[in-house]
Structure 1
Amino acid sequence: MDTKRKKFIKKIIQHVLMIIFTLIMLYPLAWMVMSSFKQSSDVFVDAHTLIPREWAFHNFTEGWQGFGGITFTTFFRNSFVITIIATIGSVISSTFIAYGFARIKFTGKKLWFVLMMLTLMLPYEMVMIPQYVMFSGFGWIDTYLPLILPTFFGVPFFIFLIMQFIRTIPTELDQAAKIDGCNTFSIFFRIIVPLVVPAMMTAAIFSFYWRWDDFMGPLIYLVTPEKYPVSLALKLFSDPSAVTNWGAMFAMTTVSIAPVFIIFFIFQRYIVDGISTSGLKS
């Protein structure tokens, strides 16, 4: 009885600690959401409280009006265009490359794989200037090409993730397909792709989040405000020469994270499946 009681008390303590840590981690998000309903002048005056003294629902309508006649409808459309196309490109290209590394034998395979993995260790600041010079020479500045086109040549993290998943698939399936007359592409499309859907969905979710949240890329390559995504448009609320509308800024920030939450909660099971099995090998 004492042992059961100790286990019961231990579980209670664990749950209490988890609840406390969860509340601590969620507090900044809750503060941002509740600040979107506060008057702009009360955001930092009542920063210690979550509940607004006066609910300002007009923050959302004011924020959605945007700047200079450009509404957030345009900014959201730009974000979806960049994010969706880049996500499709990164997942498809990474799956092709991962299949090559996992199943196809070719000269210099280990060398190319090592070089690909080394790119994961390069900080973005190290390649930022060379990339800008290269894309500027191509005449791609103030276009979406620098933000989208590179994803069609594979993303190293996704390649490694999907490749590890492919390695869990028995090679006997490939051999059986070859006996039935399938070539390399048939094996890829008919056998490999249907089985690696969890890993592909995991890559798609990560890609969607990274591209939607990307600030540095659009800041470097985009000049025309009409082409700004949401991540860059939110910066326009902060104006050192005028009074910043904090309520509207927090309102649009709250709206901007909604797509990420929706995607995550709909496809979260694929994240668990994709990551939990990608490290296993048959």
Structure 2
Amino acid sequence: MIRNSKFSWTKLMIQLMCLVIGAASLYPIAWMIASSFKESSQVFVSAHSLIPAAWDFSNYSNGWKGFAGITFGTFFKNTFIIVCTTVLGTIVSCSLVAYGFARVKFKLKGFWFGTVMLTLLLPGQIVQIPQYIIFHQMGWVNTIYPLVVPAFFGSAFFIFLIMQFIRTIPYELDEAAKIDGCSRFGIFSRIILPLIKPALVTSAIFEFYWSWDNFFGALIYLGKPQMYTVSVALRLFADPSSGTDWSAMFAMATLSLIPPILVFFMFQRYIVEGISTTGLKG
């Protein structure tokens, strides 16, 4: 009886601790949402309060107007085009490369796989300057190509994740498909792809998040305001020479959180399944 009582108190304390940590993590988001309904002059004056003294819904309409006649609808459209193209390129390229490493035998396979994995140890900041020089010589600056084309050449993290998932699939399925006259690409498209759906969705979600938050890449490659993404457009609210419309900035930042949150809640079961299964070789 005492043992059950101790277990209950321990479980309660763990749950209370999780609630406290969760509340502390969500407080900045709640503060931002509350500030989006305050007057700009009152954002930091009443920063201690989450409830606005006077609700100002015009911040969303003012923020949506954007800058120089370019509304935030354009910025959201640009972001969705870049993100969706990047996700598509990542899924197609990484699944093909992962299938090759997991199922196809070829010379120097270990060497090439090791080379791909070594790129995980290379900080992204190191390749920024060489990449910019290459893209500038190709005439791709001020276009979306530097942001979307590299995705069609694979990513080491997603290649490894999908490859480990493919290894959990019995090789006997490939042999049975070969007997039935299925080609290598047929095995990949008809057998492997349907079975690795959790890994593909997991990769797509992570790539969606990373592309959506890609501020630095959009900042250095997109020089025209009509091509800006949401992350770069939010920076335009900050004007040191005059003043910053904090309320409008927080309003648009709140709207920018909606797509990632919706994607997470719609596909969270695939994230858990994809990550928990990866690495378990059957």
Cα distance in 1, alignment partners of residues 8 and 257 from structure 2? 38
CA displacement at 1:11 relative to structure 2: 1.5
CA displacement at 1:155 relative to structure 2: 1.1
Among all aligned residue pairs of Structure 1 and Structure 2, give the percentage whose two residues are the same amino acid: 56
CA displacement at 1:3 relative to structure 2: 1.7
Cα distance in 2, alignment partners of residues 255 and 182 from structure 1? 48
Alignment of 1:61-80 (within 5 A): 61-80=61-80
Cα distance in 2, alignment partners of residues 81 and 29 from structure 1? 26
Does 2:113 correspond to 1:109?
A: no
Cα shift readout 1:146-182 (whole Å, capped 9, x = no counterpart): 0000100111111110000000000011011111111
Tell me whether 177-186 or 64-73 shows the greater mean CA deviation.
177-186
Cα distance in 1, alignment partners of residues 2 and 159 from structure 2? 52
Counterpart of 2:277 in structure 1 is: 277
Large movers: runs of 4+ above 6 Å: none
Counterpart of 1:192 in structure 2 is: 192
Alignment of 1:170-185 (within 5 A): 170-185=170-185
Instruction: With the length of structure 2 as denominator, give the TM-score of the two structures.
Output: 0.99
User: For structure 1, which runs of at least 5 residues remain unmatched after alignment?
Assistant: none
Does 2:51 correspond to 1:54?
A: no
SS of residue paired to 1:124: coil
Cα shift readout 1:65-90 (whole Å, capped 9, x = no counterpart): 00000000000000000000110011
Alignment of 1:106-185 (within 5 A): 106-185=106-185
> Amino acid of the residue matched to residue 191 of structure 1?
I
Cα distance in 1, alignment partners of residues 125 and 18 from structure 2? 37
SS of residue paired to 1:237: coil
Cα distance in 1, alignment partners of residues 277 and 213 from structure 2? 27
Alignment of 1:210-221 (within 5 A): 210-221=210-221
Does 2:26 correspond to 1:43?
A: no
CA displacement at 1:210 relative to structure 2: 0.6
SS of residue paired to 2:66: coil
Counterpart of 1:91 in structure 2 is: 91
SS of residue paired to 2:236: helix
CA displacement at 1:135 relative to structure 2: 0.3
Counterpart of 2:245 in structure 1 is: 245
Cα shift readout 1:39-94 (whole Å, capped 9, x = no counterpart): 11111111111111111111000000000000000000000000001100111110
